[in-house]
Amino acid sequence: MLSRVADSLYWMSRYLERAENTVRQLDVTMNLMLDTGGSSADTRWQQLVAALGNPEGLEWNGKLEEMAGRLVFEPIGHASITYCVNAARENARQVREEISTEQWQRLNRLYHQMHSAQVQSQFRSSINDALSAVLDGIHLFKGVTDTTMIHGQGWQFIRLGRYLERAYAIATLLEVYQAELFNPHEREHTGYQYLEQVGLLRCCTAFEAYCQVYTADLTADRILEFLLLNRDFPHAIRYCVDGVRQAVDAIQRTGGRRPPDELSAGIGRLHAMLSYTTIGEILAGDAAAFLHSIREQCLRIHELMYRYYIHYSIQSALSI
């Protein structure tokens, strides 16, 4: 497969995953702001922006709807929903012959939806409805991707992008919120703390799944354990890293190069770190450092993958 094509598919997938993450986090944050207790709007917004990786142009100005509108519609910052959808479509357009017609039409529809007057007026009347319409569009795209595209190398690059982006986003989210999770503000009512915890889980669509595993008894260490170490839940970091590993293996099997030892080792190390550590050990050590290290390792995997499959030097390719 041409490196450029793999690159476009990878980024198409990453950008859509990012859009989805922004939609969910924005939705949860706006919901939490409805309740008057807990952090101030200012702090909440700053946390949201930090959890999205600090995109530019989103300094709090006191007007929530205006800020939310900016994060949804303005093609600024690498996490804005419109920016991500535009970028995903642009990537798809350049490899139109590699993806199925259904995929293209879905993505195109989502793109036109983001730019339609209808969604903007819907946004003014009900932000929730508008956000869930966007989410639907993204889910539909993922559905047709899995059911209409050949599960060859291109699809594996899509998977790789999806899981790497997701693992990175969850690690960022947890890094921002973990301090508060373990040291909640002094509050009059424990109800607020519950809302915060549910909010964090909902950012990863994990509330119901958590309840199935641990019942609705929410505790900080279990939440962290679930989002970090669960092997069966698609929005747990461990699950995502498994996905990354499988995708890289499959890329080789479908005609890509054998991954270099460096890359295999990098993925293997992260995988082992998440498979053979208990939450007790993580909490006994420095949890923030642990989360930060996950992000660093995700970045490193991306760089190695890039250097090896996409932007390799001619010399390195000729010497093999």
Partner 1 sequence: MSAGHPAELETLFGDYPLDRAFDEMREPNGDVRPHYHALAETLARLPQDDLERRKQSAELSFLTQGITFTVYGREEGTERIFPYDLLPRIVTAQEWDRIERGLTQRITALNHFLRDVYFDAKILNDRVVPSELVYSCKHYRRQMRGLQVPRNVYIAVVGSDLLRLNTGEFVVLEDNLRVPSGVSYMLTNRRVMKRTFPQLFHSYGVRPIEHYPQLLLSTLRSLAPEGRPEPNIVLLTPGVFNSAYFEHTYLARQMGIDLVEGRDLVTHDNIVYMRTTDGLKRVDVIYRRVDDDFSDPLIFRSDSALGCTGLFNAYRAGNVTVTNAFGTGLADDKALYAYVPDIIHYYLNEDPILPNVKTYILTEEKQRKHVLANLDKLVVKAVGESGGYGMLIGPQSSAQQREEFARQIEANPRNYIAQPTLDFSRAPCLIGNHLEPRHVDLRPYILFGDKVNIVPGGLTRVALEKGSLVVNSSQGGGSKDTWVLE
- Residues at the site binding partner 1, with contacts judged by CB under 8 A: 1-4, 6, 93-94, 96-97, 101, 104-105, 153, 157, 251, 255-257, 309-310, 312, 314, 317-318, 320
Q: Which is nearer to partner 1, 62 or 255 (CB)?
A: 255
The three-state secondary structure class of 55 is coil
DSSP string, 114-168: HTSHHHHHHHHH-HHHHHHHHHHHHHHHHHHHHHHS--SHHHHHHHHHHHHHHHH
Minimum distance, C-beta of residue 103 to partner 1, in the bound complex (Å): 12
CB contact burial 170-202 (16+ within 10 A = b; e otherwise): bbbbbbbbbebbeeeeeeeeeebbebbbbbbbb
Q: CA of 145: how far to CAs of 24, 31, 204, in Å?
A: 21, 31, 21
Rounded to a whole number of angstroms, the minimum distance from the CB of residue 57 to partner 1 is 25
Q: Which is nearer to partner 1, 231 or 253 (CB)?
A: 253
Measured from the CB atom, is 3 or 121 closer to partner 1?
A: 3
Q: Residue 102 in contact with residue 12, Cβ under 8 Å?
A: no
Give whichever of 141 and 290 is closer to partner 1, judged by the CB atom.
141
Cβ distance 73 to 66 under 8 Å? Answer: no
3-state SS, residue 84: helix
Token pair of 233, please? 């839940």
In the complex with partner 1, the residue whose CB is nearer, 241 or 248, is 248
| Smallest separation, CB 120 to partner 1 (Å) | 19
Report, in Å, the least distance between residue 215 CB and partner 1. 45
Residue 201: partners with Cβ closer than 8 Å, 6 or more residues away: 207, 210, 218, 223, 226, 227
Least CB distance to partner 1 at residue 93 (A) = 6
Whichever of 273 and 310 has its CB closer to partner 1, that residue is 310
Least distance CB 168 / partner 1 (angstroms): 22
List the one residue out of 201, 102, 203 whose CA is nearest residue 149.
102
- Token look-up 């490899």 returns 95
Q: 233 or 308, CB closer to partner 1?
A: 308
CA separation (Å) from 12 to 84, 103, 141, 161, 268?
9, 11, 11, 8, 25
Residue closer to partner 1 (CB basis): 4 or 124: 4
Tell me how far, at minimum, the Cβ of 97 lies from partner 1, in Å. Answer: 4
Minimum CB distance to partner 1, residue 90 (Å): 9
The minimum distance between CB 240 and partner 1, in angstroms, equals 21
**Rounded to whole angstroms, how far apart are CA atoms 11 and 24?**
20
Nearer to partner 1, 289 or 317 (CB): 317
- Amino acid identity, position 214: Y
The answer to whether 307 and 262 are in contact (CB under 8 A) is no
